[in-house]
Amino acid sequence: MAGIEIRFLSGHDVEQLAIGPDTILAAVEDALVAQGTGKVVLEPREHLVPDPAFDGHFNLLRAYVAPLDVAGVKVVGDFVGNWKLGLPSELALLTLYDPRTGVPRAIIDATAITEWRTGAMTAIGARHLARAGARVLGHIGARGTAFTNVTLLDRVLDLDEIRVTSARAESRNAFGERLEQALGKPVRVVDDVEAAVRGADVVVEATRLPAPAPILKTDWIAPAALVIPYGTMSAVELSITSIMDKVFVDDWGQCRGGRFGALRAHVDEGLVTGDSIAGELADVVAGTRAGR
């Protein structure tokens, strides 16, 4: 029997690859084109809640990407209280397989990969769906994927004004300083959600709420704004979809089921349905659906 060699990549190994932002954006865009043209099998995610007292859960994600000739399973731990232990809220492990034989190819620390992939999805969404000339960002949340959101959004939009906020002052202040060092431009750190989002061209909700709470009010959203909510627990009002000309999702199969999601209540209440959405982001990127 032929031997099986499995590559192991630690977080340090991934960091040493020093993959640049443009390469990341291109890779994620290519994956979206593949999804939008029917070359991806993406199963709805599953959740494992070990114990409600642990204040967290695991997400199990599975896909096959034909152009890459690979299948994969990723497990992402989502534990909102990890900051108290000096740990990231999200920790991920990715396993890759030969799709024809099931032979495992690699085991990868995917924490950084998850952060950059999420940020790239946010930025690509803005590239295709934000209004022309969008230059003002309001960002809610300062941990995990927040950094890649803002840095890649700036890469795509060349932002004139960046406002950030989060629940804890020490977190949002440190986040603002980190962004200023990385981007070389001013970042406004504000104390509340309204100050961050009112009048913004692009609003990103990336909170780490322990339970659903409508902290982002519909009345604060400017006309023609792009709103990207993706917190595990919903942070938007039910009325927010009523002011939107179009609602796109990353994948309807993921959105319509499960226990969590930024629009979980909207789906459960029938406010967001397979018929009411304008399409999936992959459709727009692949050119099979019109965006804005």
pLDDT (0 to 100) of residue 208: 79
pLDDT (0 to 100) of residue 143: 84
Residues 129 and 92 in one domain: no
112, 77, 110: which is closest to 94 by C-alpha?
110
- Which CATH number does the domain housing residue 134 bear? 3.40.50.720
280, 286, 197, 276: which is closest to 244 by C-alpha?
276
Does 2 fall in a domain?
no
Does 60 fall in a domain?
yes
Instruction: Look at residue 21 and tell me whether its pLDDT is greater than 80.
Output: yes
Instruction: Look at residue 1 and tell me whether its pLDDT is greater than 80.
Output: no
pLDDT in tens, 212-252: 888 899 999 999 999 999 878 888 999 999 999 999 999 99
Instruction: Look at residue 103 and tell me whether its pLDDT is greater than 70.
Output: yes
Does 49 fall in a domain?
yes
Q: What is the mean predicted confidence (pLDDT) over 18-28? A: 97
Residues 52 and 185 in one domain: no
In terms of residue numbers, what domain contains 102?
7-113
pLDDT in tens, 165-220: 999 999 999 999 999 999 999 999 999 999 999 999 999 999 877 788 888 999 99
**What is the pLDDT of the chain when averaged over all its residues?**
94
Is residue 20 within 8 Å of residue 34, measured between CB atoms? Answer: no
Q: What is the mean predicted confidence (pLDDT) over 160-167? A: 96
Residues 276 and 254 in one domain: yes
- Which CATH number does the domain housing residue 79 bear? 3.30.1780.10
pLDDT in tens, 262-286: 899 999 999 999 999 999 999 999 9
Helix/strand/coil (H, E, C) string of 37-88? Answer: CCCEEEEEEEEECCCHHHCEEEEEEEEEEHHHCEEEEEEEEEEHHHHHHCCC
